[in-house]
Chain A
Amino acid sequence: MRLAAFAALAACAALAQAQDSAREIQRYRQMIAEGSPAELFEVEGEALWKKPEGPKKVSLERCDLGEGPGVLKGAYAHLPRYFKDADSVMDLETRLLHCMTTLQGRSREEATRRVFGSADRPSEFESLSAYIAAQSRGVRIAPGMSHPKEKASYELGRALYFHRVGAWDFSCASCHGDEGKRIRMQELPVLYKPEAARPVIATWPAYRVSTSQLVTLQWRMNDCYRQMRTPEPTFASETTVALIHFLTATARGETYHGPGNKR
């Protein structure tokens, strides 16, 4: 089923990019034969999770994603959530960065040098996200909603969603505010409504066929703000976490079944 859906997506993308289609089709065929491309990132992510890194030469295997040190099963489906050791609400990527700086002793500058990758060279955050998210398949989405900081983060996310700003006066709701709207041919989910948020959040992070990349929610927030003509939101900032928290809370109750595939 996953494969069939992916094959349909890949076929569309191959059609859309007629230029070097023959080579591309060959590449997709090969990837389909090997499984969903997201699975390749999951394999890479597992290796990175276990690889000693940083001045302390330790792996991330003792990283606590909220379910206890090293526990991956269901961890992604329960993020973002409040972490006492950092006294803040964190999504997956923010927590990974936290573990890179604390457990591995890496500097924030070094660890965030390449938070979004390219088709040739994925970012470690992308592969790690694919691997960790996959361990939540079949688990109900239930981000933290009880700690006062979790409530504040959710409220901030909702306020950000409707906040009109930037050179073109957009809010998220300018494009994701009304049913049945499109930008060019791309359908725009109304993400403050559970019906629309559920299938979207249940499949991120995702393999993006049009750019051959594994993309994360931090990337998605970044690229939507780029289209909004604002300056750049800082990776793992309270703003990006709050938006992801708001969207994930809106999708709560859905069973996680990613990493998925996108256009």
Chain B
Amino acid sequence: MSRLALLLALVTLPALGDPTPQDVQKVMQRDFHGRGQAGMDRVVQDGVQRLCTESHDRPPAELAKALQADQMKTIAYPQGSLLGDWQRGEAIAQSGRGLTWNDKPGDAAGGSCYNCHELSPQELSHGTLGPSLRGFGRTRGASPEVQHYVYGKIYNAKAYNLCSQMPRLGASGTLTPEQIKDLVALLLDPASPVNR
């Protein structure tokens, strides 16, 4: 048994009598039905969801590191510049559409960014589940390394913080590489309202 498997076995020991994530998954497979684009494959947990459920979002450090490395490999960086158009990025950040059972498959999705983050100071209706991103590029700069980080974070937030509450917006097929580049520009372009 590998060290990883051993660790995994350790955290999976359930409290006596409590339904395990496996039990819950079986119940969901019985009690849910596919609707629109939201198919039953979505009630099957992947390793990240399973470990975060088992550990109440506090995974053992070593295990988290190993799984984050796997998540990092899912990120596909496009060729060339990662900076798109911040104006298109603003519209994508505003939109909360995508992947629900009543969104039409094929229709452009949004990133729901304002649901959770403050970005442009003009938008007062923003959530607080995530940190404020106001002035993000002003404080972090827009170097290739920062662009690389922001692109990666949006593509797969779990590669940096395994049990983040932020969705894996690229890896889940919600946003296209073009859209993610536009969001990178929204966060980093000096002309973007986020930085002015």
Known: A230-B42, A231-B34. A165 touches B49 (CB 8 A): yes
B residues 125-156 with Cβ under 8 Å of A? 125-129
Known: A156-B27, A171-B53, A239-B28. A184 touches B127 (CB 8 A): yes
Per-residue CB contact flags for chain A residues 212-242 toward chain B (1 = under 8 Å, else 0) read 0000000000000011011111100111100
A183 at the B interface (CB under 8 A): yes
A-B CB contacts (within 8 Å), total count:
125
B residues 71-108 with Cβ under 8 Å of A? 99-102
B residues less than 8 Å from A229 (CB atoms): 38, 42, 99-100
B residues less than 8 Å from A164 (CB atoms): 45, 49, 52-53, 163
Cβ contact within 8 Å between B129 and A182: yes
Known: A155-B18, A232-B33. A163 touches B38 (CB 8 A): no
B residues less than 8 Å from A237 (CB atoms): 30-32
A167, A184, A234: the one contacting B172 at CB < 8 Å is: A167
A residues less than 8 Å from B181 (CB atoms): none
Cβ contact within 8 Å between B100 and A169: no
Per-residue CB contact flags for chain B residues 150-179 toward chain A (1 = under 8 Å, else 0) read 000000001000010101100011100000
Smallest beta-carbon distance B12→chain A, Å: 14
B residues less than 8 Å from A233 (CB atoms): 31-32
A180 at the B interface (CB under 8 A): yes
A residues less than 8 Å from B53 (CB atoms): 162-164, 171
Cβ contact within 8 Å between B125 and A231: no
Q: How far is the CA of A162 from the CA of B101 in the complex (A)?
A: 22
Q: How far is the CA of A232 from the CA of B34 in the complex (A)?
A: 6
Interface core residue of B17, B24, B28 (most chain A CB under 10 Å)? B28
Q: How far is the CA of A183 from the CA of B113 in the complex (A)?
A: 10
A32 at the B interface (CB under 8 A): no
B residues 20-44 with Cβ under 8 Å of A? 20-21, 23-25, 27-28, 30-35, 38-40, 42-43
A181 at the B interface (CB under 8 A): yes
B63 at the A interface (CB under 8 A): no
B residues less than 8 Å from A159 (CB atoms): 18-21, 23-24
A171, A175, A184, A232: the one contacting B35 at CB < 8 Å is: A232
Cβ contact within 8 Å between A167 and B31: no
B residues less than 8 Å from A181 (CB atoms): 127-129
B residues less than 8 Å from A177 (CB atoms): 165
Known: A232-B38, A233-B31. A163 touches B125 (CB 8 A): no
B residues less than 8 Å from A174 (CB atoms): 129, 165
A52 at the B interface (CB under 8 A): no
Cβ contact within 8 Å between B43 and A169: no
B56 at the A interface (CB under 8 A): yes
Smallest beta-carbon distance B50→chain A, Å: 8
Smallest beta-carbon distance B26→chain A, Å: 11
Cβ contact within 8 Å between B129 and A184: no
B residues less than 8 Å from A240 (CB atoms): 31
Smallest beta-carbon distance B114→chain A, Å: 7
Cβ contact within 8 Å between B42 and A167: yes
Cβ contact within 8 Å between A163 and B18: no
Task: Please give the residue numbers on chain A whose beta carbons come within 8 Å of chain B beta carbons, in ascending order.
Answer: 155-156, 158-160, 162-171, 173-175, 177, 180-185, 188, 226-227, 229-234, 237-240
Task: Please give the residue numbers on chain B whose beta carbons come within 8 Å of chain A beta carbons, in ascending order.
Answer: 17-21, 23-25, 27-28, 30-35, 38-40, 42-43, 45, 48-49, 52-53, 56-57, 99-102, 114-116, 125-129, 158, 163, 165, 167-168, 172-174
Contacts A165-B43, A169-B52 aside, 16 further interface pairs with beta carbons under 8 A come to A156-B27, A159-B24, A163-B53, A164-B45, A165-B45, A168-B172, A169-B49, A169-B158, A170-B165, A170-B167, A174-B165, A177-B165, A229-B42, A231-B43, A237-B32, A238-B31
Could you list some 8 contacts between A and B, CB below 8 A? A156-B23, A156-B24, A163-B24, A166-B42, A167-B174, A169-B167, A183-B116, A229-B38
